[in-house]
Amino acid sequence: MINKNRNKNRNRISNNYPKQKADNDMEVKEGRVVEVLPAALFRVEFPGQEKRWLCFLGGKMRIFKIKILVGDKVVVEIDPYGGNGRIVRRL
């Protein structure tokens, strides 16, 4: 026998969590790797900007062990809140 109150409470609790941001909120830019840092971190500069962003490797790039070297062109998704970037593709 299914307890209907328990299922109702479960739905109510799950609706209280904030919605996650969609991937289309991320700004996508092309840049060039300037510096390789430990722990799969990279400094990437974008044309027309002085600021160099700290970027990390995306999950699929880690899984398939795609190597990135200094001077490689990469596609980066930049966090809309001004945090780090995520490297999603090597060109």
Instruction: Answer whether residue 86 is part of any domain.
Output: yes
Number of domains in the chain: 1
| Per-residue CA distances from 81 to 4, 24, 78, 90 (Å) | 41, 14, 9, 24
Q: What is the mean pLDDT of the chain?
A: 83
Range of the domain at 64: 21-90
pTM for the full predicted model: 0.72
pLDDT digits (tens, 9 = 90+) for 71-90: 999 999 998 887 899 999 99
Other residues' Cβ atoms within 10 Å of the Cβ of residue 54:
13
CATH number at residue 29: 2.40.50.140
From residue 2, alpha-carbon distances to 5, 6, 9, 10 in Å are 9, 8, 13, 13
